[in-house]
Amino acid sequence: MSVDFSGLSPEELEGIAKASFGVDIGLKLGPLLLGGIFDVMLLGVLIQQFQSWWAYCKPSERKPIAFITTYIMIYSIGWTGMVTGYVMHNFVYNFGIFSVFLEMPYFTAFPIVGMGMSTVIQGFYIERSWRLNNRNPFLLVFLCICVLGEWAAVLILVIKVTSIASLLQATEGVPHTRAWQCMTLAADVMITGSIGWGLWSAKTGWSHTDALVKKLLLVTLETQLGPTLLMAAFVIELSVQPDSTLGVFFDILIPKSYAVGYLAILNTRVHLKRKDHTTSGSRENPQIKTNTYHLGSGRLQQATVHVETDTYIESYQVKDPVPGLNRINEHSYEESIENLDYSSNLSKQNLNKPNQGF
pLDDT digits (tens, 9 = 90+) for 189-216: 888 888 888 888 777 767 767 777 777 7
Judge contact between 180 and 111, C-beta under 8 A: yes
Residues 6+ apart with CB under 8 A from 106: 82, 86, 89
In the structure, what pLDDT confidence band is assigned to residue 84 with cuts at 50, 70 and 90?
very high
Judge contact between 193 and 199, C-beta under 8 A: no
- Average pLDDT over the chain reads 77
* Nearest residue to 143 (alpha-carbon basis) of 95, 189, 191: 191
Check residue 320 and report its DSSP letter: P
SS3 166: coil
Most confident range (mean pLDDT) of 114-128, 157-171, 177-191 is 114-128
Is 126 or 353 the better-scoring residue by pLDDT? 126
pTM tops 0.75: no
Q: How far apart are CA 283 and CA 287, in angstroms?
A: 10
Sequence-ordered alpha helix ranges (H) in 57-136:
63-88, 105-132
In the structure, what pLDDT confidence band is assigned to residue 44 with cuts at 50, 70 and 90?
very high
* Nearest residue to 193 (alpha-carbon basis) of 235, 225, 227: 225
In the structure, what pLDDT confidence band is assigned to residue 82 with cuts at 50, 70 and 90?
very high
Can you give the pLDDT at residue 8? 67
pLDDT tens column, 248-299:
899 999 999 999 999 998 888 777 776 655 555 554 454 444 444 444 444 4
In the structure, what pLDDT confidence band is assigned to residue 355 with cuts at 50, 70 and 90?
low
* Nearest residue to 73 (alpha-carbon basis) of 110, 111, 42: 42
Q: Quick one: average pLDDT of 304-330?
A: 61
Helices and strands, counts by H and E, the chain: 10, 0
Can you give the pLDDT at residue 258? 93
Sequence-ordered alpha helix ranges (H) in 241-345:
246-281, 286-297, 333-336
For the chain, the structural domain boundaries read: 31-278
CATH of 31-278, one of 1.20.1070, 1.10.10, 2.40.160, 1.10.540: 1.20.1070
* Nearest residue to 43 (alpha-carbon basis) of 80, 83, 87: 80
In the structure, what pLDDT confidence band is assigned to residue 120 with cuts at 50, 70 and 90?
very high
In the structure, what pLDDT confidence band is assigned to residue 81 with cuts at 50, 70 and 90?
very high
Q: How far apart are the first and last CA of the chain?
A: 166
Is 72 or 14 the better-scoring residue by pLDDT? 72
Q: How far apart are CA 305 and CA 326, in angstroms?
A: 62
Q: How far apart are CA 141 and CA 54, in angstroms?
A: 33
Residues 6+ apart with CB under 8 A from 144: 126
Neighbours of 107 (CB within 10 A): 20
Of 11-20, 121-130, 310-319, 326-335, which range is least confident?
326-335
Q: Quick one: average pLDDT of 213-231?
A: 79
Residue 73 half-sphere exposure toward CB, CA atoms < 13 A: 18
Can you give the pLDDT at residue 298? 43
196: enclosing H helix or E strand:
helix 174-201
Neighbours of 128 (CB within 10 A): 17
How many residues make up the chain in this entry? Answer: 358
